[in-house]
């Protein structure tokens, strides 16, 4: 069974390969996505190291002059996707002209941690490839600190930047903003390719597009976007992933003797560690998203909350409280880890980031739990994903109550996470 799935996962990646970069799935997401590509490289790493590094190099080709690596690279124009390059219009920005059409926001920076993972499971070849990328990746991490941070907290100006597009975490931020009255009528494409009940709501899309228009009118000046955006929230996902990525990049920089990068990264780590406490909601007893304009917490535990372990953050009491949430949530679902607490307002077991289990999040959460000594919990998170894939295939995400697959099929990061981690044969494949 798992041999068959291993072969099928390789086939999924090869089918979605567009020659140097891989689309998440045909039609619904027809371009190169940032964190998708990073996870995809882990998958290629199980059977083709050269292809793994090429995926990452292609991603960095889209890096802006200011350091940002965008969430989507539009290497061609595909009328099947909205909003495409003609909506973002980043190339006509007077700031630092992006090297290719792209969005004007970033995504969770898992790249450095993937590089470290490939190096740890590889040889001199992998270290050499990683060494060539360290400065560029450090530049991206510095960008987060320079253009997206408020007092050390990495904030976000757009739910799409978090990768957790319609998570109820963002409701308090979206509620506080208006839809631009002069927004031109537009036609969504996502709801033509997927069940609209599983995609973000129309009122959310109107605000997503309003935010794109807002930044476009500010010429994609990234600091200005952060300073003035009607939506400004702190995301535990980006913050914890970036903190971890900085540590992983520091380790790589030390390994290859890149002292300039080492000196850049150390203060970024110290600042992020200190700022992490700003995500702690004492009333809920959890790390959560927070509105940077009002100080209000989102009021619910998401799967990103559990990345505190991955980032090695929290006092003993805070960790204990997070584990109590883990145990409670575990009792309310069949499969961990739902993207939103089933007991919180807004939970919907099949709607995108309002409840479904996400493969790449389970991978990160489980890794963090294992590192912090919660090995049984880590194993459960891994087992559940493995079972979901065996039962429902390489779907984009899964219903935590029924195990049903949701949204995209033949999905790249699901195949990649299977090959790199969730497959029982992972070790043999990598040999
Ligand atoms: C989408 O189109 O749903 C993407 O998540 C945006 O990045």
**Binding-site residues, ligand 1, Cβ < 6 A:** 71, 160, 165, 190
pLDDT the model gives residue 430: 41
Shortest-distance atom of ligand 1 to CA 33:
7
Residue 241 confidence (pLDDT) above 60: yes
Q: How many domains does the chain have?
A: 1
Distance 412 CA to ligand 1 centre (A): 15
How far is Cα 282 from Cα 259, in angstroms, rounded to an integer? Answer: 39
Q: Convert the pLDDT of each residue in 272-301 to its tens digit.
A: 999 999 999 999 999 999 999 999 999 999
Backbone angles phi, psi at 335, to 5 degrees: -130, 130
Is-cis flag, bond preceding 359, omega within 30? no
Reported confidence tier of residue 23, pLDDT bands at 50, 70, 90? very high
Distance 180 CA to ligand 1 centre (A): 20
Q: Which residue in the list 117, 396, 399, 410 is annotated as catalytic?
A: 396
Q: Which residue in the list 165, 235, 341, 348 is annotated as catalytic?
A: 165
- Active-site annotation holds for 396: yes
| Residue 204: how many other CB atoms lie within 10 Å | 17
pLDDT the model gives residue 426: 80
Q: Convert the pLDDT of each residue in 105-159 to its tens digit.
A: 999 999 999 999 999 999 999 999 999 999 999 999 999 999 999 999 999 999 9
Residue 305 confidence (pLDDT) above 90: yes
Of 29, 105, 202, 358, best ligand 1 pocket probe by most atoms within 8 Å of the beta carbon: 29
Q: Convert the pLDDT of each residue in 50-84 to its tens digit.
A: 999 999 999 999 999 999 999 999 999 999 999 99
pLDDT the model gives residue 30: 98
Is-cis flag, bond preceding 302, omega within 30? no
How far is Cα 342 from Cα 347, in angstroms, rounded to an integer? Answer: 5
- Active-site annotation holds for 124: no
| Portion of the chain with pLDDT greater than 90, in percent | 96
pTM beyond cutoff 0.95: yes
Of 37, 164, 165, 196, best ligand 1 pocket probe by most atoms within 8 Å of the beta carbon: 165
Shortest-distance atom of ligand 1 to CA 71:
7
Full residue range of the structural domain in which residue 407 is found: 2-430
Distance 134 CA to ligand 1 centre (A): 27
Q: Convert the pLDDT of each residue in 313-351 to its tens digit.
A: 999 999 999 999 999 999 999 999 999 999 999 999 999
pLDDT the model gives residue 369: 98
Distance 186 CA to ligand 1 centre (A): 16
Q: For position 103, which CATH number holds?
A: 1.50.10.10
At which residue do the structure tokens 């002209």 appear?
97
For 244-282, b/e burial (b = at least 16 CB within 10 A) is bbbbbbbebbeebebeebbebbeebbebbbebbebbbbe
Shortest-distance atom of ligand 1 to CA 28:
2
pLDDT the model gives residue 431: 36
User: By alpha-carbon position, which residue is closest to atom 4 of ligand 1?
Assistant: 160
Q: Is 396 helix (H, G, I), strand (E, B) or coil?
A: coil
């Amino acid at each position: 069974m798992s041999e068959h799935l291993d072969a099928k996962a390789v086939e999924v990646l090869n089918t979605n390969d567009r020659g140097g970069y891989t689309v998440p799935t045909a039609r619904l997401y027809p371009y190169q996505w940032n964190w998708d590509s990073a996870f995809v490289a882990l998958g290629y790493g199980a059977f083709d190291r050269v292809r793994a590094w090429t995926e990452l190099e292609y991603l960095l080709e889209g890096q802006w002059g200011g350091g940002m690596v965008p969430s989507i690279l539009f290497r061609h124009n595909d009328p099947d996707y909205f909003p495409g390059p003609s909506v973002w219009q980043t190339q006509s920005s007077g700031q630092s002209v992006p090297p290719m059409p792209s969005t004007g926001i970033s995504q969770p920076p898992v790249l450095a941690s993937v590089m470290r993972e490939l190096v740890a499971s590889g040889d001199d070849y992998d270290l050499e490839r990683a060494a060539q990328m360290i400065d560029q990746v450090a530049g991206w991490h510095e960008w987060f600190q320079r253009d997206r941070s408020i007092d050390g907290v990495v904030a976000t100006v757009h739910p799409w930047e978090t990768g957790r597009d319609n998570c109820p975490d963002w409701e308090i931020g979206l509620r506080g903003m208006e839809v631009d009255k002069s927004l031109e009528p537009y036609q969504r494409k996502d709801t033509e390719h997927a069940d609209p009940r599983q995609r973000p709501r129309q009122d959310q899309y109107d605000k997503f597009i309003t935010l794109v228009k807002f930044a476009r009118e500010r010429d994609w000046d990234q600091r200005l976007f952060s300073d003035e955006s009607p939506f400004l929230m702190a995301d535990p996902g980006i913050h914890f992933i970036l903190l971890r990525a900085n540590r992983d990049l520091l380790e790589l920089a030390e390994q290859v003797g890149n002292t300039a990068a080492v000196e850049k990264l150390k203060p970024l780590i110290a600042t992020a560690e200190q700022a992490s406490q700003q995500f702690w909601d004492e009333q809920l007893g959890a790390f959560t998203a927070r509105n940077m304009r009002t100080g209000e917490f989102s009021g619910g535990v998401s799967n990103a909350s559990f990345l505190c372990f991955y980032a090695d953050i929290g006092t003993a009491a805070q960790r204990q409280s997070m584990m109590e949430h883990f145990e409670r949530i575990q009792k309310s679902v069949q499969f961990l880890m739902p993207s939103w607490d089933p007991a919180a307002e807004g939970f919907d077991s099949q709607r995108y980031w309002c409840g479904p289990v996400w493969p790449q999040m389970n991978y990160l959460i489980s890794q963090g739990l294992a590192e912090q000594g919660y090995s049984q919990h880590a194993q459960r998170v891994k087992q559940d994903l493995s079972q979901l894939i065996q039962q429902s295939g390489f779907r984009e995400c899964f219903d935590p109550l029924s195990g049903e697959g949701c949204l995209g099929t033949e999905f790249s990061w699901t195949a990649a996470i299977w090959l790199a981690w969730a497959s029982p044969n992972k070790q043999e494949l990598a040999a």
